[in-house]
Structure 1
Amino acid sequence: MSSPTGVRAQTPDAVAKRLLRASASHSFDPDTDIDWDAPLENGKWFWPPERLSLYATPMWDRMDERQRIELSRQEMASYMSMSIWNELHVLRMFSHYVGTQDPTDSRTHYALTELADETRHMKMMARLLATYNCPVYRYPPLLRRLLPLTPFAFQDLTTFALVLVIEELQDPVQRESMRDERLQSVMRQVCRIHVTEEARHVSFARAELRAAVERASRRRLAVHRELTAISAGLGVSALLDPRVYRAAGLDTAAALRQRRDNPYFRKSMLDSGKKVVDFLTEVGMITPLQHHWWRRANLIA
């Protein structure tokens, strides 16, 4: 399948070899590459305020600066917690994928490299939560029961599609965060590492997904479109735990109503999801038949 510009996309093997070279020359060790002893800076945020779910709502207008910053800490904690569980899920999916591949192949070698990256990222985000004394949020019970079963059902198509959803959805806000001097220092450093290494993961997943779509039958593709859409609809909806509002001293029911009706938050979600939705539509993993699930995830208007 050609890219939108008409230039033939690189083969998965060529992409994997390029990414292996990049990983060898430009990877991070969060234990030593982050200044974990950087002091907590009074008045600084933990997440960009414009990306918070209640930004510019009536509830936001009534909050003082201290409470707004606390909301940013809680929302960051929810996103980072869910990133840990998402990356644990990527480990499961990739482990299953690697078990079906030739261990001498460069694509398998890069998949193993990505497994190592994700293990470091999980530890990095867990240490971030500990550094800022944040609560750990968890997926709802239904998702926790379903996730261990999914690698066997997802196979290559849904595995790589969901890797893209997981990685690309938070890429825009993390790119903003790593440059935003209003944010805490450790937060910016974590985002810088995550953005740099996840860019390689996105390149690998895109190449593998293109190849998987090209060899898939129409029936198999239809099944995995639905699996991907349902998983995105359920998973993305769980990224921001409702308990963040109570933890920030807010009325949960009122906060959820204002979040639902907040045009700024809807636009933030649509902007964050645009690249991955456009790509999945381009390669044939999203059709109008799945739009209701993607709309549930606030990734399609």
Structure 2
Amino acid sequence: MNQYTEPSYVERKSFEKLSNIPKKVYKYRVWNDVYQKTILTERVVFMAPPSSFEDKKDCKLFKRYDLMTEQDIINKYLEHSRNENSGWTEQQHLAFARRWAAKSPMKSKEYLKKMQEDHFNEFDERFGILCLTGNPLNLEMWKKYSNNGEGYCVGFDPKILFKFLGGGGKVEYYENLPDINHYDDYHIEHYKQVFSKEKKWSFEEEYRTHKFYPKPATILDRKIIIPPEAYIEIIFGWNLSRKHSNPIVQTCKKQKLNVRFNRCVFENDKLEIIPVENF
């Protein structure tokens, strides 16, 4: 998908209206990482700030105030005047708009750059994202995020997880990322910012859930304890040793997770998920 579709498409992105939401969403993990294992040992997920992402363009689209024309700037001040000065005539509103547009800082590249950076910093401090996928048979994901099959995959019920964390949806991939236009309302801006990634990341087949914080979030704020009923499956990688699989099983029992244990088998360049017995 290379072109962004406007509001009607955005509106369909609420969880209740998503027709293609998978029955399970997954997080690829490794067990020998003290932070990554807390998804099971403490039932904790980390709502990451966008500044921490490997993809340096992910969630970093600036609103394109620099594309505003002179008339756009006048219209912006005209709207402001109509809202603030209800007793004025239209001629007075227009005079106000032209006067302020003539000296508007919106024409300054330095001002716009600082404003965009300030907006992103505030967004980064107050927003957290959990990246997931709908595909547990994704070889590239097993290699990249589970140490070439030495890790495991945690399956969640998205209906429980997304609603608990505050919403979510499917990431769309583009050859060219969409612009956030100066006239985009909050919902469109939010959708473009959070659910747009470059085509080169499409192998992730990503779904993501997110959380907004009313004030800058601390590390502790970003650690969210997930209800046990959200967990539904554990998939062991083909290279995961008993040394790690046994503690994973015991941890799930300790946390009272009613999960199904499966194993991902990699043979003849093909992945397959099979049940695990004797646990």
Q: Which of these two proteins has the greater Rg computed from alpha carbons?
A: 2
TM-score where L is the length of structure 2: 0.25
Going by fraction, where is strand more abundant, 1 or 2?
A: 2
Going by fraction, where is helix more abundant, 1 or 2?
A: 1
TM-score where L is the length of structure 1: 0.24
